[in-house]
Amino acid sequence: MLTKRIIPCLDIKDGRTVKGTNFVSLKDAGSPVELARLYSEQGADELVFLDITATSDKRKTLVSLVESIARVINIPFTVGGGIGCVEDVKALLEAGADKVSINSAAVYRPELINELAGKFGNQCIVLAIDANFVNGRWKVYTHGGRKETEKELFSWAKEGQKRGAGEILFTAMTRDGTKNGFELEANKILAQTLRIPVIASGGAGNMQNFSDVFLQTGVDAALAASVFHYKEIKLKELKLKLKKDGIAIRI
């Protein structure tokens, strides 16, 4: 049985880790390099780094920060934010990233998924999807949750898989930062209809929330930020609880 993964997420703005609620009201949460080192030492299975306000003029800053983080961790490392072409991915992988997360650029030019998967392999490409439940539909948003699109979560995830994405990282915007628990129904549909791994994101508030998302949806990984950044949940204690609940996890 494949073990489930716990993934701390570093949302980066201007070189610092930040965290908000429903994608707004961002607060400083510390040094990304120090947090990355801490999570690696505490037993995180992977790490995700998202430059949530990335633009082309910040690319150099992003690469140097990726290099600094890669030097202090020994776990798989996914980087996203402002990625729009093969050259962007090449620079990040050379800086120490193991995988890249693409979001807005893929929504507006889906062929990007094919290009990147063809060049670097499916295992390198994570399709991140930010979706909000609007009028009975899970609508996809871009630009850090600021722009609504006509795409729908489940059809876009299937298209991403077909085009070569190796994983889907789904953030339920309705849950983000609320600490009310992960979105169970949508994650269950994704896990049941896709062949590739699904990472659940948005809503972690306590250890039971992690057990619930694994036991009730079938997702492969759960991602969280503030509960780890502010030490509300300790990774080792969380993993012991998950194991006690019968969930296959690496201790």
Helix or strand run (H / E) with residue 7? strand 5-13
CB atoms within 10 A of CB 15: 15
| CA-based end-to-end distance of the chain | 15
Is the pLDDT at 203 greater than 90? The verdict is: yes
Task: Provide the CATH topology of domain 5-244.
Answer: TIM Barrel (3.20.20)
List, as one string, the DSSP characters of 17-62: EEEEETTEEEEEEE-HHHHHHHHHHHT-S-EEEEETT--GGGHHHH
pLDDT value at position 23? Answer: 42
pLDDT in tens, 156-167: 999 999 999 999
Output the CA torsion sign for 82, 87, 93, 96: negative
Distance between CA 77 and CA 66 in Å, rounded? 9
Least confident of 60-69, 95-104, 127-136, 174-183: 60-69
Nearest residue to 199 via CA among 82, 99, 120, 74 = 99
Boundaries of every domain in the chain? 5-244
Which residues of 125-241 form beta strands (DSSP E)? 125-134, 137-142, 147-152, 167-172, 198-201, 221-224
Higher pLDDT, 51 or 188: 188
pLDDT value at position 22? Answer: 47
Higher pLDDT, 63 or 170: 170
The pTM assigned to this predicted structure is: 0.92
Q: Are 247 and 208 in contact (CB under 8 A)?
A: no
Any idea which residues carry the catalytic annotation?
A: 11, 130
